[in-house]
Amino acid sequence: MEKHSDYHHGSLRRALIETGLELISEKGVSAFTLRELAKRAGVSTAAPYHHFRNKAELLEAMAAEGWRMMGEGFEASSAAEETPMERLYAIGRAYITFALEHTPYFRVMSRPDLYCTEEESDYSGTGLEVFEMLKSAVTECYPDRDRSDPVIQATVLNAWVQVHGFSMLWIDGPIRTTSLGKLGVEELMKLLFKTPVTG
Amino acid sequence: MEKHSDYHHGSLRRALIETGLELISEKGVSAFTLRELAKRAGVSTAAPYHHFRNKAELLEAMAAEGWRMMGEGFEASSAAEETPMERLYAIGRAYITFALEHTPYFRVMSRPDLYCTEEESDYSGTGLEVFEMLKSAVTECYPDRDRSDPVIQATVLNAWVQVHGFSMLWIDGPIRTTSLGKLGVEELMKLLFKTPVTG
DNA sequence: TGAGTATCTTAACGGCGTCAAGATTGGAGA
DNA sequence: TCTCCAATCTTGACGCCGTTAAGATACTCA
C-alpha cells in the first residue's frame, strides 16, 4: 500500500473501521460519533461518506468483519481437538473468548438494531454462518441422530444461549458485580460447561 | 388524581414513562428521542426536565420500574409451585415471559450503559435484587449445601445465563430467523429447561 | 387574598448525521 | 508527456438532538 498525499488518505476505509473500534472501546457504541471518528482519523466530517453510505453501513462492516473473525476462531480452536464433544466445547470457549478479547467488535455484532435495516430483511452475514458452524459441531456429537432431532435442537439452543448470555452479562458488568464475579472468567467457564442439570 | 389545566399536565412524570415505553416499542431504544416524546405527550421540549435531570434518568426510572415488575413476577409465579425445583423453573419462565411480554421494559433494563453513570458506581437497583431472588431459589434446591458451593454457583450462573441469553437472542431476532425459530417459544423453553448436558 | 413554589414555555447553544457543491488528486489513454 | 475523468476529500449548510437559562403560568397554603 503506497503512501499518498495529504489530501488523499490512501486507506481511509480501513482506518475508519480500526479507529472506529478504538473509539467504541473507549466510550461505548452508543456514544460513538462519526464526527469524532473523522477528526481522529484526520479527515473532514464528510469524508467517511465516500466509503460508507451512512453510519449504519460502517457499523455493518465492523460487524461483518467481527463475525468472520469469530468464524475463523471457531475453526482454529476446534481443529486442535480430537473428539466432537471437545470440538464443541472449544467452539463455546472461542465464542466467549472472542467477546472478551475483541469486545468492541462483539458490542457492535450483538446490536443488530444498529446495522440491520429492517426485521429479517438483510439478516445475512450477521452471524448466521457462525450459528451454522455451532449447529454442525453439535450434530457431529450425535452421528446417529437427525439434524431435526430434539436432542440436537436442545443442545444447539443451550450452547448458543449459554455462550451468548455469559458474554453479554460479563462484558456489561452484571456478573462481575455479583458474588460470581470473584471467581474469574476461567473458573466460570468451567462451571458453565460442566453443569449437569440446567436451572 | 385530579384533572388539571392545559398548562399543568398533572401527571407528566408518569405519562413520560408510559409514552416513552410506547415510543421505544415502536422505534427501538436507540431511536428514542426526548423531543419526540415531549411532542407526543403534548408538552414542550423542556418540560421533561422538571421531572428527570436528563434522558438517562428517565431511562433509569423505566429500568427500575421494570426490575421491580420482574421481581413481582418471580414471586407470583414461584408462589404457585410446590417444590424448590419447580419454583426455580417458574422463575426462569417468568424471566423469559417478562422479556417477551414487556419487551420495551426489558430492552432498557438490559442496556445498563444507558442509565448507569459509571462502571460499578451506582449499580444498585438495576436487577441485583432479582439476581438475589434467583440465587435464593437455587439455594433452596440444595438445602444441605453452602451458598458458596460450586454446585450452587454453577446452577445460578447457568440459570441466569440461559434465561438472559435466550431472551436477548429471541427478541433481537437471531433465534427466530434460524431453524430453531419454527419451534416457537413454548417448545424452546421446554428444550432449554430439560437439556441434560450442556453444550 | 396573597406569596411562594412547582410546573411549563420560549428561545437559544453546541453537537450530531447527512448532503450538495466544489476543490484536489491519481491514473488511464492519447 | 499531456489531458481528462473518476475517485477522493473539503467546505458549508440543513434539520434534529440533548440541555439550559430566563420568564410565564397555575396550584397550594398561610
Distance (Å, rounded) from C-alpha A89 to C-alpha A85? 6
pLDDT in tens, A30-67: 999 999 999 999 999 999 999 999 999 999 999 999 99
Cell of A165: 448470555
Residues 84-113 of B with CB under 8 A from A: 88-89, 92, 110, 112-113
Tell whether A121 is within 8 A of chain B (Cβ).
no
* Terminal C-alpha separation, chain A: 54
Cell of B177: 430467523
Place A197 in a pLDDT band, splitting at 50, 70 and 90.
Answer: very low
Which distant-in-sequence residues (6+ apart) come within 8 Å of A137 by Cβ? A74, A78, A84, A87, A88, A91
pLDDT in tens, A98-140: 999 999 999 999 999 998 865 444 555 668 899 999 999 999 9
> b vs e for A107-140, b when ≥16 Cβ sit within 10 Å of the residue's Cβ?
bbbbbbebbbeeeeeebeebbeebbebbbbbbbe
What pLDDT score does A10 carry? 76
Whether the pLDDT of residue A172 is over 70: the answer is: yes
What pLDDT score does A120 carry? 45
- What domains can be seen in chain B, in order of their start residue? 1-51 (1.10.10), 56-194 (1.10.357.10)
What pLDDT score does A199 carry? 31
Tell whether B121 is within 8 A of chain A (Cβ).
no
What pLDDT score does B3 carry? 42
Residues B29 and B108: beta-carbon distance below 8 Å: yes
What pLDDT score does B10 carry? 75
Nearest of A173, A172, A66 to residue A125 by alpha carbon: A66
How many CB atoms within 10 Å of residue B95? 24
Could you state, in chain order, the average pLDDT of each consecutive group of 10 residues for chain B (199 residues)? 56 96 97 98 96 96 96 96 95 97 97 76 70 95 92 94 97 91 94 63
Q: Which residue has the higher pLDDT, A122 or A14?
A: A14
A128/B197 CB distance under 8 A? no
Nearest of B74, B83, B102 to residue B167 by alpha carbon: B102
CA(B61)–C1'(C4) in Å? 29
The CA–CA distances, whole Å, from B26 to B30, B104, B160 equal 11, 9, 28
Q: Which residue of A has its CA nearest to B183?
A: A153
B174/A199 CB distance under 8 A? no
What pLDDT score does A123 carry? 55
CA(B65)–C1'(C5) in Å? 28
What pLDDT score does A9 carry? 74
The chain-wide mean pLDDT, for chain A, equals 90
